[in-house]
Structure formats: C-alpha cells, structure tokens
Amino acid sequence: MDYIKSLVTPTPKAQSGRKVWSLDLTQVWLPFFTATNATGDTNIPASAIGAPLRLSYDKTGQPRFSQAGRPVIRVAKELADSVKMVRDNFTANLIAYAGKVADEKPDAIASVIQSAKIAGEPIQRYDNAQLSRAMLARQKEAEEAQAEEEAKTGKEAELVTA
C-alpha cells in the first residue's frame, strides 16, 4: 500500500521539457529506462537513450515540417514503444488494484461510491441548469440575428441548424 500512497501524494513540480505520455522525457523516462537497462530489465538501444528525439521524415525520405513550418520531431521508436508498454502495464495494475480493493472491502467501496454520488448531484444539477440557460440564450441570439437579417433583406433568411 505504500506504493499506492506514494502515487496519490503531491510532490514538488519540476521544470518540464518534452512530454511522453504526459511525463517529462529527460527527467522521468530517460533516467527510468537507463536504470532498467542497467539492471537488465530492458534492452533499449544506447542510440535511443543517447538521441531520444529524432527528426521525422516523410515517405520520400525528406524531413517533415509542420503547418507552421517547423521541423517535426518525434521520440525514438524504441523509447516510444517502451513507454507504451509501461503505460499499458500501469493501467492494468491500476485496474487490478481497484478490483482487489473492491473484493477485500466491498462495503468501503460502496460507501465511497454513494458519498461521491451525493456530493456530485448538486454540481451536475448546477451545470445542467447553466448549460440549459446558455443554450436558450444562444438560441434567442440566433433568432434575433435571423430576424435582423430578414428585416434588412426583406425576406426570410435560410435557417441553418447544427
């Protein structure tokens, strides 16, 4: 359980750079995979760790550029694949943990779910009311704009629905 507690305990925020699966490449993934290579748990090529960011190429072998004209940079395939495997395993472990707790403490889980439903109801009611008011206001604005257009042109404007 100490591992799970460590996952849900806030830690100081470090400076960040390129993100891979929302985690910093140089501060998280490279040290992690360097360590897993050192222990023999992974065998990621040294070139992927040494040059984790690569220029992306198109099908003709030419460097790719974004719409803004900047070169497209990608993460080395070996690192990206390893991150995907960690993500998939992490997800499976979260699901397994939740299932284990649900099996071991069904009453506690039911209690948390019930209190969450009760706590969430006023928020959902408020959001629904605000959304309804906003949608009615938008509809009224559209009708007024259509009426103004009809008054200007002297004929009915075509109603466009989304």
User: Which tokens go with 131?
Assistant: 């959304």
- Alpha helices in the chain, H assignment, sequence order: 2-7, 30-39, 46-50, 77-104, 106-153
Q: What is the pLDDT of residues 1-48, one digit of tens each?
A: 677 777 788 877 666 689 998 899 999 999 999 999 999 999 999 999
Cα angle: 148, vertex 153, 156; to 5 degrees: 75
pLDDT at 53: 97
Q: Is the pTM of this model over 0.95?
A: no
Question: What residue spans define the domains of the chain?
Answer: 2-104, 106-153
Strand-pair category, 23-24 with 19-20? antiparallel
**Distance (Å) of CA 49 to CA 11, 33, 56:** 26, 8, 17
Q: What is the pLDDT of residues 76-122, one digit of tens each?
A: 999 999 999 999 999 999 999 999 999 999 999 999 999 999 999 99
